[in-house]
Amino acid sequence: MAGASKMTKTQFMAAMAEKAGLDKRQVNAVFDALSGLIKEQLGPSGPGELTILNLVKLKVKETPATADGEKVNPFTKEKQFVKGKPASRKVRATPMKGLKDLVN
């Protein structure tokens, strides 16, 4: 990989259009549709999991809110005030066998 540089968005779209035999607008429409599908499936009202063609499995992990409170610092053994964190939704991407086979 010495000397290799990553593709820009424009280069990626052009390469996808060439390999698929489509024009750039059609490729852009496909990725817009994929973004919409991901938002629908991983959103609050969706199932929270989406598999993309044996390449990647996307899952949402919901983290509950934590409360403010005093906790013991493990290094100094002194109590200190720790601010709570709000609830959040994180996305995990797990590579599947198809992607691993392509890379190896």
Residue 104 is predicted with a pLDDT of: 87
Residue 97 is predicted with a pLDDT of: 94
Instruction: State the pTM of this model.
Output: 0.74
As a whole number of angstroms, the longest Cα–Cα distance in the chain is: 65
Query: What average pLDDT does the segment 14-32 reach?
Result: 94
Indicate whether 2 pLDDT > 90. no
Task: Tell me the domain boundaries of the chain.
Answer: 8-47, 54-104
Residue 58 is predicted with a pLDDT of: 96
Give residue-wise pLDDT tens across range 36-91.
Answer: 999 999 999 999 999 999 999 999 999 999 999 999 999 999 999 999 999 999 99
- Angstrom distance (rounded) from CA 15 to CA 39: 25
The answer to whether the beta carbons of residues 56 and 95 sit under 8 Å apart is yes
Query: What average pLDDT does the segment 27-43 reach?
Result: 95
What is the number of residues in the chain?
104
Residue 1 is predicted with a pLDDT of: 54
The answer to whether the beta carbons of residues 62 and 87 sit under 8 Å apart is yes
Sign for the pseudo-dihedral over CA of 70, 72, 75, 78: positive
